[in-house]
Amino acid sequence: MASRYDPQTAEPKWRAAWETGDVYRAKSPDKAGDAPKAYILEMFPYPSGRLHMGHVRNYAMGDVVARYKRAKGFNVLHPMGWDAFGMPAENAAMKNKVHPGEWTYKNIADMRAQFMKLGLSLDWSREFATCDPEYYGAQQEIFLKLFEAGLIYRKASKVNWDPVDQTVLANEQVIDGKGWRSGAPVEQRELTQWFFRITDFAEELIAGLETLERWPEKVRTMQANWIGRSEGLQMRFEWAGSAPEDVSEGIEIFTTRPDTLFGASFIALSPDHPLALQLAEGDQALQAFRTECAKVGTSEEAIEKAEKIGFDTRLTVKHPFQDRDLPVWIANFVLIGYGTGAIFACPAHDQRDLDFARKYQLPVLPVVLPSGEDAGSYEIGKDAFTGSGRLVNSGFLDGKTIDSAKAEAIDRIESLGHGHRTVNYRLRDWGVSRQRYWGCPIPVVHCPECGIVPLPVGELPVRLPEEVSFDVPGNPLERDETWKSCVCPKCGGEATRETDTLDTFVDSSWYYARFASSENLAERAYWLPVDQYVGGVEHAVLHLLYARFIARAMGQVGLMDIASGEPFAGLFTQGMVTHETYKDPDGNWINPSEVNFEGETPVHEKTGAPIKVGPIEKMSKSIRNTVDPDAMIAQYGADVARMFTLSDSPPERDVEWTRAGVDGAARFAQRVWANFDALPAAPTTHAATGDSDLRRTSHKSVATIEQAVDEFRFNSAVATMYEWTNAIKKAAETAAEADRVEACSLFARCLQLFMPHLAEECWSRLGHRSLIVHAAWPKTDPALLEDDLITMPVQVNGKRRSEVQIAKEAAPKDVEALALADPAVSAHIEGKTVKKVIVVPGRIVNIVVT
Partner RNA sequence: GCGGGCGUGGUGAAAUUGGUAAACACAGCAGACUUAAAAUCUGCCGGUCGUAUGGCCUUGCCGGUUCAAUCCCGGCCGUCCGCACCA
- Cβ-contact 164, 182 below 8 angstroms: yes
Residue 604 binds RNA (CB under 7 A): no
Residue 654 binds RNA (CB under 7 A): yes
- Cβ-contact 419, 409 below 8 angstroms: no
Q: Which of 797, 818, 820, 826 binds RNA (CB under 7 A)?
A: 797
Q: Which of 21, 337, 451, 558 binds RNA (CB under 7 A)?
A: 337
Q: Which of 73, 664, 683, 767 binds RNA (CB under 7 A)?
A: 664
Q: How far is the CB of 838 from RNA (least distance, A)?
A: 4
Burial zone of 724 (CB within 10 Å; 0-12 exposed, 13-18 middle, 19+ buried): buried
Residue 722 binds RNA (CB under 7 A): yes
Which has the closest alpha carbon to 45: 122, 105, 129, 123?
129
- Quote the CA–CA distance of 190 and 160 in Å, as a whole number: 9
User: Could you say which residues in the range 419-458 bind RNA, by CB under 7 A?
Assistant: 424, 426
> Can you name the residues that pair with 840 across neighbouring β-strands?
844
Single out the segment in contact with RNA by CB under 7 A; choices: 371-379, 459-467, 598-606, 654-662.
654-662
Residue 719 binds RNA (CB under 7 A): yes
Which C-beta is closer to RNA: that of 527 or that of 724? 724
Burial zone of 747 (CB within 10 Å; 0-12 exposed, 13-18 middle, 19+ buried): buried
- Quote the CA–CA distance of 641 and 577 in Å, as a whole number: 12
Which C-beta is closer to RNA: that of 341 or that of 454? 341
Beta pairing, strands 577-583 & 451-454: unpaired
Residue 308 binds RNA (CB under 7 A): yes
Residue 800 binds RNA (CB under 7 A): yes
How many residues bind RNA (CB under 7 A)? The answer is 83
- Cβ-contact 351, 290 below 8 angstroms: no
Which has the closest alpha carbon to 181: 252, 292, 90, 268?
90
Q: Which of 221, 588, 635, 689 binds RNA (CB under 7 A)?
A: 221
Cα 610 to Cα 185, 583, 603, 622, distances in angstroms: 38, 9, 4, 21
How far does the chain reach from its first CA to its final CA, in angstroms? 64
User: Could you say which residues in the range 775-794 bind RNA, by CB under 7 A?
Assistant: 791, 793
- Cβ-contact 53, 619 below 8 angstroms: yes
Q: Which of 795, 806, 819, 829 binds RNA (CB under 7 A)?
A: 795
Which C-beta is closer to RNA: that of 90 or that of 816? 816
**Helix (DSSP H) and strand (DSSP E) numbers for the chain:** 28, 35
Which C-beta is closer to RNA: that of 138 or that of 410? 410
Q: Which of 13, 158, 808, 843 binds RNA (CB under 7 A)?
A: 843
Binding mask 634-653 for RNA (x = CB under 7 A): -------------xxxx--x
Q: Which of 148, 723, 737, 814 binds RNA (CB under 7 A)?
A: 723
Return the DSSP state at 379: -
Q: Which of 106, 358, 479, 729 binds RNA (CB under 7 A)?
A: 729
How many other β-carbons are positioned within 10 Å of the β-carbon of residue 89? 27
Which C-beta is closer to RNA: that of 463 or that of 800? 800
Residue 405 binds RNA (CB under 7 A): no
Residue 107 binds RNA (CB under 7 A): no
Q: Which of 27, 218, 420, 832 binds RNA (CB under 7 A)?
A: 218
Give kind and range of the element (H or E) at residue 845: strand 844-849
Residue 333 binds RNA (CB under 7 A): yes
Which has the closest alpha carbon to 479: 537, 523, 435?
435
Residue 343 binds RNA (CB under 7 A): yes
Give kind and range of the element (H or E) at residue 728: helix 714-730
The order of strands in the sheet holding 75-77 is 75-77, 37-42, 532-536, 571-574
Residue 54 binds RNA (CB under 7 A): no
- Quote the CA–CA distance of 626 and 617 in Å, as a whole number: 10
Residue 838 binds RNA (CB under 7 A): yes
Cα 790 to Cα 540, 697, 803, 807, distances in angstroms: 46, 14, 10, 6
Residue 556 binds RNA (CB under 7 A): no
Residue 338 binds RNA (CB under 7 A): yes
Single out the segment in contact with RNA by CB under 7 A; choices: 7-15, 524-532, 722-730, 780-788.
722-730
- Quote the CA–CA distance of 509 and 102 in Å, as a whole number: 24
Which C-beta is closer to RNA: that of 228 or that of 585? 228
Q: Which of 35, 247, 541, 820 binds RNA (CB under 7 A)?
A: 541
Q: Which of 713, 732, 736, 818 binds RNA (CB under 7 A)?
A: 713
Which C-beta is closer to RNA: that of 440 or that of 839? 839
Burial zone of 536 (CB within 10 Å; 0-12 exposed, 13-18 middle, 19+ buried): middle
Residue 335 binds RNA (CB under 7 A): yes
Residue 614 binds RNA (CB under 7 A): no
- Quote the CA–CA distance of 632 and 619 in Å, as a whole number: 15
- Quote the CA–CA distance of 93 and 101 in Å, as a whole number: 9
Residue 770 binds RNA (CB under 7 A): no
Residue 304 phi/psi, 5° resolution?
-60, -45
DSSP assignment of 443-495 equals -EEEETTTEEEEPPGGG---PPPS----SSSS-HHHH-HHHHEEE-TTT-SEE
Residue 805 binds RNA (CB under 7 A): no
Q: Which of 326, 544, 643, 655 binds RNA (CB under 7 A)?
A: 655
Which C-beta is closer to RNA: that of 50 or that of 352? 352
Q: How far is the CB of 665 from RNA (least distance, A)?
A: 8
Residue 848 binds RNA (CB under 7 A): yes
User: Could you say which residues in the range 352-391 bind RNA, by CB under 7 A?
Assistant: 352
Which C-beta is closer to RNA: that of 167 or that of 340? 340
Binding mask 160-199 for RNA (x = CB under 7 A): -----------x---xx-----------------------
Q: Which of 198, 334, 384, 641 binds RNA (CB under 7 A)?
A: 334
Residue 675 binds RNA (CB under 7 A): no
Q: How far is the CB of 262 from RNA (least distance, A)?
A: 14
Q: Which of 716, 732, 767, 768 binds RNA (CB under 7 A)?
A: 716
Q: Which of 660, 681, 687, 789 binds RNA (CB under 7 A)?
A: 660
Which C-beta is closer to RNA: that of 460 or that of 662? 662
DSSP assignment of 389-401 equals -EE-S-GGGTT-B
Single out the segment in contact with RNA by CB under 7 A; choices: 113-121, 205-213, 220-228, 623-631.
220-228
- Quote the CA–CA distance of 832 and 820 in Å, as a whole number: 12
Which has the closest alpha carbon to 197: 391, 369, 429?
429
Cα 575 to Cα 41, 55, 538, 572, 619, distances in angstroms: 17, 11, 10, 10, 12
Q: How far is the CB of 560 from RNA (least distance, A)?
A: 27
Residue 661 binds RNA (CB under 7 A): yes
- Quote the CA–CA distance of 487 and 184 in Å, as a whole number: 39
- Quote the CA–CA distance of 263 and 259 in Å, as a whole number: 9
Residue 281 binds RNA (CB under 7 A): no
Binding mask 222-261 for RNA (x = CB under 7 A): x--xx-x-x-x---------------------xxxx----
